[in-house]
Structure 1
Amino acid sequence: MRPRGLLIATAVLAALAAAVWWSNRQKKDEPENASSPKLLSLKQDEITKIEIQRREGETTRIEKSGDGAWRITAPEPLPGDKSAIESLVSSAASLNADKVVEEKPEDLAAFGLKEPHARIVITLKDGKTRTVLLGDDAPVGGGGFAQVDGDPKVYLLTSWVKGGLDKLAVDLRDKRILTFDREKIVRVEIARKQETFEFSKNAQGLWVISRPQMVRADSWSVDDYIRRLQDLKLDPVLTSDQKADLEKQFKAGEAVAAVAVTDAAGTQKLELRRNKDKYYARSSVVDGYHLVQEFDAKALDKGMADFRSKKLFDFGFDDPSKIDYRGSRRQLSLSKQGDRWMESGKQMDSVGVQTLIDRLRDLQAVSFPASGFTQPMIEVAVTSKSAEKVQISKSGDRYIARREGEPALYEISASSVEDLEKAAGDVKEAPQDKKK
């Protein structure tokens, strides 16, 4: 056998021997009905510092400041990811093992605990510390060996529990490019090549386009845009050469959009640029330049028309309580009494009224013309949680609509107007058997 083959065979046999030894030890030492041993039981609010000291590589440290916020202080000061840090603190406070491997180990080196892979030092408010040692991975079945100060036993931790403790700064840092509080946003400004516009919230807490003119916004589209901004993440493991290349590509790129988000704490800005077929960003919150995935970049490259509410009526899924319809072919004045629709003391067929409501819900713009509204041919007033009134006119072969109290105009399709007129014409008195 060649020397190389002999070495490989020897290594395989050694691994198999270790696996067999570990399997036999498990069967021999496993007590019946054993419960998960508790290694640590600490109060989370008493933990003030956790330091993860590695045999090789960085030392990671998080510390709680006077205001109760956790911060990464080593290997360098970094903003922390609140959720990730809270998960680490929770894991350290309540630490359970899968089982006891050795009550009184003769050789800690056999478990990688003589020179542990990581030493986790937990500091409490009173200055006392608790230390957890993480050793080698178990040869079979996953997990790894561990030991706690003041306890000679060697424990087996599951992979999940071990992974919850063995964290690097890259796992704990805040990777967001923008860190605004989404619940406290008061204004979003977007500047593009040919337009600048702004969102704000009205008295009802709904998004509106407040600049260059006050028009309704599609709140779902605005919320989705904000979510995508907040989901932008930096790459925490870039080399210095990669960082320099990102800066070069950004500066050579063409401006796509500049976004300013204002919340209760102030304004954060993002610049988005395109260079060839890739997108790059710079943030006012974190240093450096960042690659943005094409899917995300295109979702952020939107104009004002993309955010405008195309619906003529805002009542949505709220059923109206009153409908006044005035058209050249039909006039209706419907009011709801209990579960019945009435007109002039007569009960109307609910199916026909519901079809009319659906056609009103369906009315939406195909474009936003600057002019073209003439004499109204249809007027509809709907009362639900609020009162809304829409007028529809015909200009040539186009139908132009407007909402009462708003300067904006809406072009709607001819088919939607035809469907509306048909639905209004089909509203009839309820059959006698349905009136009972």
Structure 2
Amino acid sequence: MKRRYVRTLIVGLIFVGLVIWIMLNERGRVVEKGEVFALQLTDLSRVSMKATEHQYTLERRGEDWWFTEPFEGLADSDKIKPILDAVASLKPLAREDQNLSDPEFGLQAPVVTLDVTYGRNRTATIRLGAESPLGQKYFASISGKSALFLIDQLFKSQVDQDPEELRDKRVLKLATDETERLPLWRPEGTLVVGLVPLAGEPTWQITSPRKLPADKSSVEGYFRALSEGEAVDFLAYTRENLVATGLDKPALTLSCEVKGQKAVTVWLGKQEEREIKQPGAPGETASTSPQQVVYVMRAGRAEILALPASYFASLDKTLLDLRDKHLMLLTREKIKGLAVAREKGVSFRAIRSDTEWQIQAPKTGRGASFKLDGLVSNLIDLQAIRYEVEGDPKVALGKYGLQAPQVAITIAVEGGQQIVLYVGSEVPEETGRLYARTSTAHDVYVIDDTVLQALPETADELLATTPDYSAGNGMFDMSDMPPGAMPYSPGAP
């Protein structure tokens, strides 16, 4: 009974804690006693800062914050959050009955002046004067209040920042799992990738210029490259700059269609060498160095970004780059047998059960799982380097050595299906590359020679010479392990 009561109490406390956490996140931060403004971050609409070295003006526009001085540009929400937090939660010490004009306080020539707009166009001005003899604090005044305040040095370091370092350097922030469609417009043509329901699951497919399976990892890598690129320089959004950067006639245009949101379009212009400011040690004159850049612009963002030229290469993708280039869509569990016919080297047949391989020809016996599983892995992973011929049932196979192939691998798949991989002649002047085709498509591919390298040269390589530990007979099959490999022993670390 007591144990049940304790368990119920723990569950109740967890539930209460969860409710409090949700309420705090919905309502924003918790206001503390002694705060001057007692604001939520959403109450702030404008912050203007002027200091000895830096000055800027930030304005809220919808969900974003923008610099309006000393330039027009998007602010990085993560980087300016400490500024907004510092203002919203300002909690200084107050001294009444002080003469704010006293030169000791330095408020006639402040080191920082901060103008804040909040609520329904309410305004306040915060001035930081001289450093307090007590250390780590500044004398300060706040408009509308007669007291002399002491504000921590941390506040100054939070608000007195170089606006160039607070700019949003990313082209856009993109959640891969929320993106549904990606059209690319290139001079060579349009390429569209989208999520299409297949067997009840949303799957990446190329939908234009024709329908093809897309490679999931390539598509997700594309989105990462798109959202992770960072600007090394910025230019003002003017007609002259649009022409000078080639953005009046983009080399590449793409659009990200995100679930429940308006599509975002990105344009990439010309590439050229540009002098880029390099960070230096504090107090040192900043230097510049030449760098190859590409100019980029995003819809709804009135500024031009210069990114490393590699950004263009990471986004200028073709159908071949994004399509699924696997010759055969196979899974290991569904492969039940192999039959290999070769001009040179051993030909063989093998069948696979849940626990082991059995060789049926040219000899019989238990198969060397390391060798055969390695071959299966190569077949599953085999991808086209390029497509020499696509969708042509009348292709002249003899031209590629595929009329009488040097190797034919028949793969028996669960359900009685068979897929045959034919390997033809070597590609002229391309070492280690071969022509190939499959029984399921009218294509000719160029592949590397990894599958041929995985084939056994003799019948003895196919056979396991000792009992298989995995079969439950207490011994580990060492015959099919690579030279130098150490078998695992039960109880070993």
Give the TM-score normalised by the residue count of structure 1. Answer: 0.65
Residue number among 221, 226, 233 corresponding to 1:224 in the alignment = 221
Q: Which residue of 2 aligns with 1:331?
A: 349
Give the counterpart letter for 1:163 in structure 2.
S
Q: Quick one: distance in 1 between partners of 2:94 and 2:316?
A: 57
**1:154 correspondence with 2:183:** no
Gaps of 5+ in 1: 1-36
Query: Which one of 85, 88, 92 corresponds to residue 87 of structure 2?
Result: 92
Q: 1:253 to 1:156 in 2, by over 3 A?
A: closer
Query: In structure 2, which of residues 322, 331, 336 is the aligned counterpart of residue 307 of structure 1?
Result: 322
More helix by share: 1
Aligned equivalents of 2:328, 2:98: Cα separation in 1:
75
Partner of 1:193: 187
| Partner residue, 1:274 | 270
Q: Is 1:380 the counterpart of 2:415 in the alignment? A: no
In the alignment, what sits opposite 1:364? 383
Post-superposition Cα deviations, 1:130-178, rounded to whole Å, max 9, x if no partner, equal 8754346799x9x7726475663424323xx533334677666655545
Q: Is the 8 A contact 2:296 2:304 kept in 1?
A: yes
Residues in 2 aligned to 1:388 and 1:136: alpha-carbon distance in whole angstroms: 84
Matched position secondary structure for 2:374:
helix
Cα distance, 1:48 vs structure 2: 0.6
Do the aligned partners of 2:64 and 2:77 also contact (CA within 8 Å) in 1?
yes
How does 1:101-140 map onto structure 2 within 5 Å? 109-110=103-104, 112-116=106-110, 117-119=112-114, 121=116, 123=118, 132-135=126-129
CA contact (8 A) 2:235 2:304 kept: no
Q: 2:73–2:302: 8 Å Cα contact kept in structure 1?
A: no
* Counterpart code for 1:258: T
* Superposed displacement of residue 254, structure 1: 7.5
For residues 322-377 of structure 1, the C-alpha deviation after alignment (integer angstroms, 9 at most, x for no partner) is 442222222222132xxx33559x87554344323433345232321215466882
Query: Out of 413, 420, 431, which is 1:391 matched to?
Result: 420
Name the structure 2 match of 1:260: 255
CA drift at 1:185? 2.1
3-state SS in 1 of match to 2:227: helix
Distance 1:357 1:425 in 2: 18
Q: How much has 1:419 moved relative to structure 2?
A: 1.8
What is the distance in 1 between the residues matched to 2:460 and 2:98? 90
Mapped to 1, the partners of 2:218 and 2:373 lie a distance apart of 28
Task: Tell me the residue number matched to 2:208.
Answer: 211
Q: Which of the pair has the greater relative contact order for Cα pairs under 8 Å at 6+ separation?
A: 1
2:301 match: 286
Q: What is the rounded CA distance, in whole Å, between the counterparts of 2:212 and 2:104 in structure 1?
A: 72
Describe the shift of the 1:74–1:283 C-alpha distance in structure 2 as closer, same or farther (beyond 3 A): closer
For residue 234 of structure 1, report the CA deviation from its aligned partner.
6.3
**Aligned residue type for 1:191:** W
Instruction: Classify the secondary structure of the residue corresponding to 2:385.
Output: coil
RMSD of aligned alpha carbons: 5.0
My pick for the range that moved more, 188-197 or 370-379, is 370-379
Distance 2:452 2:39 in 1: 63
SS of 1:286 mapped into structure 2: coil
Question: Pick from 433, 437, 445: which aligns with 1:410?
Answer: 445
Amino acid in the other structure paired with 1:324: G
8 A Cα contact 1:256 1:273, kept in partner: yes
| Distance in 1 separating the partners of 2:247 and 2:148 | 61
CA contact (8 A) 1:392 1:399 kept: no
Identify the residue that residue 22 of structure 1 maps to in structure 2. none
Question: Equivalences for 1:43-82 in 2 at 5 Å?
Answer: 45=40, 48-49=43-44, 51-55=46-50, 60-63=57-60, 69=63, 71-72=65-66, 81-82=76-77
Offset of 1:249 from its aligned partner?
Answer: 1.9
Question: Using the alignment, how far apart are the partners of 1:254 and 1:423 within structure 2?
Answer: 61
Structure 2: distance between partners of 1:88 and 1:326? 69
* Change beyond 3 A, Cα 1:401–1:92: farther
* 1:431 aligned onto 2:466: yes
1:341 aligns with 2:356: yes
Tell me which residue corresponds to 1:12: none
In the alignment, the residues of structure 2 paired with residue 137 and residue 374 of structure 1 have an alpha-carbon distance, to the nearest angstrom, of 88
Tell me the amino acid that sits aligned with residue 401 of structure 1: R
Decide whether aligned partners of structure 1 residues 123 and 184 sit closer, same or farther in structure 2, where only a CA change above 3 A counts.
Answer: same
Q: Indicate yes or no: 2:315 matched with 1:297.
A: no
**Which of 357, 365, 373 is the equivalent residue of 1:354?**
373
Check 1:348–1:87 CA distance in 2 against 1; reply closer, same or farther (3 A cut).
farther
Q: Which consecutive residues of structure 2, in runs of 5 or more, have no partner in the other structure? A: 1-31, 274-292, 342-346, 360-364, 390-394, 427-433, 474-493
Match of 1:34 in 2: none
Distance 1:257 1:72, change over 3 A: closer
Distance in 1, Cα, partners of 2:167 & 2:301: 12
The answer for the alignment partner of 1:145 in structure 2 is 138
**Kept after mapping to 2: 8 A contact 1:111/1:135:** yes
Equivalent residue for 2:16?
none
Q: Which residue of 2 aligns with 1:17?
A: none
Distance 1:423 1:146, change over 3 A: farther
Identity %: 18
Q: What is the SS of the residue equivalent to 2:388?
A: coil
Equivalent-residue separation in structure 1 for 2:329 and 2:174 (angstroms): 29
